[in-house]
Structure formats: C-alpha cells, structure tokens
A = this chain, B = another copy of it.
C-alpha cells in the first residue's frame, strides 16, 4: 500500500524490539481491521501507561506510586538485588528466593558505547546501602561481558563499605545439554561444582 498514514503506522510498529518491516505491516493491517473504539482504547492504554508509570524514588523500578510496592513492603531482609532492567525484577520476583529489595541500574557500564558508571543509576546505590543498613548486595546483572564488568565495578565500589557483595551462581541451566553448553559456562560449572 502506498498510503502515508499506513506507512507512518508501520514505521511506529517497526520501533518495537525485534519487529521488522514485515511484522510491523502485519500489526498495522490487523489494527485497521479492529473496531474504531478498540483502536482508541489501544492508543489510550499507551498514553495512560506512559503517563502513570515512572521510576520508583528508591529502587528506580517502574511504578505508578512514588515508592514501589516492593520498596514499601515492611520487614524486608537487608538485601538489595542489583539488576540491569525493570524486566529483570519481574523475572526474579517470580522465583522469590529472597525477601529484600531491588536496585535497577537502567543499563550497564559499556565503554564501547561510552557508558560509564555515572551514566547508569549506580551512585544512589551507595546511599541506599548506608541508609537502609544493607548487609548484602546481590549483583544480578547479566552473565555477559558488560554485565560481568559492571558487577566487578560494583563489588569494588561497595566492599569498602563493609557490605557483602555476591553474584548469581553460573553453571549449566536446568534442562540444557552438556554437548551444547558453551565452554565458559562449562568451566565455571566445574569450578563451582558442589558436593552431593
């Protein structure tokens, strides 16, 4: 189709993560078949979410309150789990292995992209560790190069404060096959082997 408003809509859908032109066209065609009221609702949902949802003043996770539900919980353990993105909080909250709070960096240190420690939400973590009398910081950035580098940076930053800094264990994933596990993961799994 050669219609400006269609192309514009396809362009907007293409901005979504992993959405190429073909998928964007599919979404746009689908939208045109939706009733007017439903499209209005969809657009409203976007604007409302963007308007209502902002960063928690404490942990910087998304919330529609001033301080998010997790940070406002009473009787939390004095543990902060540091993650790269809000969706990592969702993943970790599903397993509920600890009853502490989170700290969302909104990025990781990445010198190649010119991202230093001051370009992510890191310095407020120092304040929190002091003020909230934190005993342990679990660094749960992704197990990739930038995530590892960020974890090491955070460990060096926090250790002088006397707080325990831990990192998620690395090893073979449940249901995976040794044959197809990468060598780095395998060697870490051997290094951290545990007695049965």
Contacts and interface: CB of A to CB of B under 8 A. Distances in A.
Interface residues of A, number: 50
Interface stretch (A5-13, A129-137, A187-195): A5-13
Contact of A30 (B16, B34, B43): B16
B43 A1 contact: no
A40 interface: yes
A17 interface: yes
Given A3-B64, A17-B26, A30-B17, A9 B46 contact: yes
30 contacts: A1-B63, A1-B90, A3-B53, A4-B64, A5-B48, A5-B53, A5-B64, A6-B53, A6-B62, A9-B45, A9-B48, A9-B49, A12-B42, A12-B45, A12-B46, A15-B34, A17-B30, A18-B26, A25-B87, A25-B90, A26-B87, A29-B62, A32-B53, A32-B86, A36-B50, A39-B46, A40-B47, A43-B43, A43-B46, A43-B47
Interface of A: 1-6, 8-9, 11-12, 15-18, 25-32, 34, 36, 38-53, 61-64, 69, 85-87, 89-90
